[in-house]
Each structure stands twice: as C-alpha cells, then as structure tokens.
Chain A
Amino acid sequence: MTVETLFALCACALVGIGLYGLIVQPHPLRKLVAFNIMGSGVFVLFGALAMRGAAAGMAADPVPQALLITAIVVAFAATAVTVALLLRLIESTATASLADEPPSGD
C-alpha cells in the first residue's frame, strides 16, 4: 500500500471517530474537539489526494496543499468563535447544557 492510500484510509477512520464524538459527547467543548478531529480527517484525506497528484517534479500537487493552509487557518477562526460563544453561554446561563430544557435542580 502506498503512503497516500494508507493516510487516506486513516483519514476516513478519523472522520468516523470525530463523528462519533460529536454525537455522543454531551459537553459542547468536547463536541468542538470531536468536530476538529473530524475536520482534520477531511484535511488529511485532501492532503493524500494532493500527494496522488504529484507531477512535474513536485512531490505533491501544490494547489490543494495551499488550500489546506487556508483551511487550517479558517478552522482555527471558527473554533475561536465557537469557544467565545460557549464562554458567553456559560456566563449568561451558568450551564453548558445544550438540552432544550435545562436540567432543573429545584
């Protein structure tokens, strides 16, 4: 198996693992981490496809690689906005629950 196929398959598993965490973990911060893992799976898959496109003396296709750099930076920006939203949610409701009905402790 070539290195790009290996990491492409690894990326598919990462997407699956991230999706599982996104569904199962109740805490929004944990969902965010899981979503980042899912996103990194997509990035690795894209990177493996870039390496398949190696040609003209280049070790990989530079176009998808440049888009990956853009994607990583944008993913960080989106994560920062989500964290700020989450901190504001806790500040105003004192809970990080995403349930429709906040658990009533009475």
Chain B
Amino acid sequence: MTAIVSLVVALLLLWLALWTVVARDAFVAVAGFVVYGLLLSLVWVRLAGIDVALTEAAIGGGLTGALLLGAVGRLRGTEAAAWSERSGACTRAFAVLLSVSVATVLALCVLTLPEPPPTLAPQAAENLAATGVGNPITGVLLAFRALDTLLEAVVLVIALIGVWSLAPDRFWGGRPGPRYGADPDGILTYLARVLPPIGIVVGLYLFWAGADHPGGKFQSATILAAMWMLVQMAGLSDAPRIDSRWLRAGIVVGPLVFVAVGVLGAWQAGAFLGYPDGWAKPMIVVIELALLPTLVLVLALLLNGAPARSADSPPAPGETSLSARSTRPMPAGGTRQ
C-alpha cells in the first residue's frame, strides 16, 4: 500500500515538473511550481525527513511561490516578446538529448551505489546526548555542523544586501515594493487581523519544539515572516525603510552572536564553535534566539525586494490607524520611530 502511494507521488511529481517546464503561460508555470513544492514536501515525508518537509512546504512552496507569483505579475508585458525568441526544433532536440543523457548517467550512478551505504547516523546518535537537544537535525545544525549554519546566515544577509543594492539611487534608504492598500472591510484585512496572533503562537511553538521534535528556527521564521507579509499586504502596516537602524541591527544580530559564541568556544573549549562541557544547550538556545529575528527579517525583506519608492512617499488613503499598528506581529517592536 505505501509502495503504491510512493509510486503515485513520484509519477505526479514528474508530471507536474514536466507541465511546469513546458507550459506556455508563465503564470500557469509558476502556479504549477507552487503545487510542485507542496507535493515535494510529501516526498520528504516518504523519505523520513519531517524537518525537511516542513522547510520545503514553508520555504520551497510558500515563500518561493509567493516571490515568483509577485514577479510574474510584473513581467506580464515581456512574455510575448520572449515567446517569439523560443528555441528552434534543432535546439530542442539537442536539449532533449542532453537532458536524457544527464538523467540516464545519474540513474546509472544511483543503481550502482556502494553497499553498505555510508552513514554518519551512529556517530550522530552517539554524541547527541552531549548537545542536550533531542532532535538529531537540530543537533547537526547547531552543534556538529554549526559552521554550515553560520555561513548560511551570512549568505542570507549577503543575499539581502545584493537585493537592496539593485535599488535605483534615488530610492536608496526608501521602502521596498508597492504600498498595499486593501479594502479595510475586506476579507484580506480581516484575515490580517485574525491570523497573526495564531501564526505567532504556532511559529514560536515550532521554534521551541525544534529542540526535541521536528521544527526549528527556519520553519518558525518563515511562518513569522509570512504573518508580517500578510499584515503588509492588507495595508495595515508599511514595509520598513531599509535605512532604519533597528532593522539593520536585527538583520546582523544573528550572525554576530553566532560568531561571538564561536570565538567564546575557541577560548573556552579549544575550537571555534566548540561548546564547553555542559554548556551546549544554553549556547544553542542563545544562538537560536539571536538567529530568529535575523531570519524573520531577511526572509520577509527578500520577499519585499529592492527599495522601489522613497521613504517619504505618501501613504495610500484609508489605513494605518493606531489600532491597526498595534496588530503588528514583529517581535522586534515594529517600525515606530
């Protein structure tokens, strides 16, 4: 029975991928990609990776989907011109040949993998108790391979700097994206008032549960970022100015605390990012607490995109009342300044 489910999921995944790649309309392709991302999280469940499934559903399907859907809306006018440039039959035949050969070579490698398979699971299981966390994935992310996680946080910040640096000079220090103004009595505004409290609780639960159960800061940060985007899209709060100090401090606090803990480890435990005996769990909690605001801000701001209007652009009519401001979901205290 489970074998049949796996087979159906695999075939559906291949069909969706093919559909997404050959669809003529870009919007259809992106919609297909969002469904593909959700289906992919089912694959992760089948592959015994609940943590990966949560990340895939939140980031792979959710955030990437939202990003691409936003881009499709602004690229509408360029599609027809691009279609006229599509490759000829000869190129397509060559592409089919190349793709099939690459897939075949990969498949041959898969069928001749070494037995028994190499694994680090016994070492991870043996040393997990020393880290004080119960979820092996969290143990790997923040103890055994903490350097990867540190570099990942740095990559996120660099990506955000890259996106911001694409702003035209006149908008530098301004706010990203359009100013959303939804109907104040509409369903979107209603949801943006009702959902964030629930979303924040779920996000923080995932954050805390990640120590011993599936979950963790990435999944949690994505949910919190999504709540913030919801409030922005309903026009209840504006995107932040990218030159505000609290914003920049929140973005770099994660990597800085991470590096500080790493240096402390070099001094106390004899290795960069080493934890002194018995201090692993508190150190991990400190790093995770510092990384959470960084991840929430960077994920949401990557979705917001490059600054596209100056900071003092007039607000759209009919929003940003005082009561709306108090529903702001940001733990860092919002843009009040």
Contacts and interface: CB of A to CB of B under 8 A. Distances in A.
Contacts of B124: 56, 58, 61-63
A61 B119 contact: yes
A69 B52 contact: yes
A52 to B, nearest CB: 4
12 contacts: A3-B3, A7-B10, A9-B107, A49-B117, A53-B118, A53-B119, A55-B121, A62-B120, A65-B137, A65-B140, A68-B55, A77-B302
Interface of B: 2-3, 6-7, 10, 13-14, 17-18, 20-22, 26, 29-30, 33, 36, 40, 43-44, 46-49, 51-52, 55-56, 59-60, 63-64, 67-68, 70-72, 74-75, 78-79, 81-87, 91-92, 94-96, 98-100, 102-104, 106-107, 110-111, 113, 117-122, 124-126, 136-137, 139-141, 144-145, 148-149, 152, 155-156, 159-160, 162-163, 166, 168, 216, 218, 298-299, 302-303, 305-306
Contacts of B17: 13-14, 17-18, 37
Nearest to A52: B117
Nearest to A86: B71
Given A69-B55, A77-B302, 12 more contacts: A20-B96, A24-B92, A25-B86, A33-B33, A44-B47, A52-B117, A60-B47, A63-B124, A66-B140, A84-B306, A95-B81, A96-B82
B13 to A, nearest CB: 6
A92 B117 CA distance: 52
A3 B140 CA distance: 25
Contacts of B152: 70, 73-74
Nearest to A90: B78
Interface of A is mostly: helix
B71 A12 contact: no
Nearest to A51: B47
Given A27-B26, A54-B121, A90-B78, A84 B163 contact: yes
Interface in A61-83: 61-63, 65-70, 72-81, 83
Contact of A37 (B33, B148, B218): B33
Nearest to B103: A16
Interface of B is mostly: helix
B60 A72 contact: yes
Contacts of B111: 5, 9
Contact of A58 (B72, B103, B136): B136
Interface residues of A, number: 81
Contacts of A28: 82
B51 A103 contact: no
B199 to A, nearest CB: 19
A63 B125 CA distance: 11
A36 B33 contact: yes
Contacts of A97: 78, 81-82, 85
Contacts of B216: 69
Nearest to B105: A12
Nearest to A105: B81
Closest 5 CB pairs of A and B: A16-B103, A53-B119, A21-B21, A59-B48, A77-B159
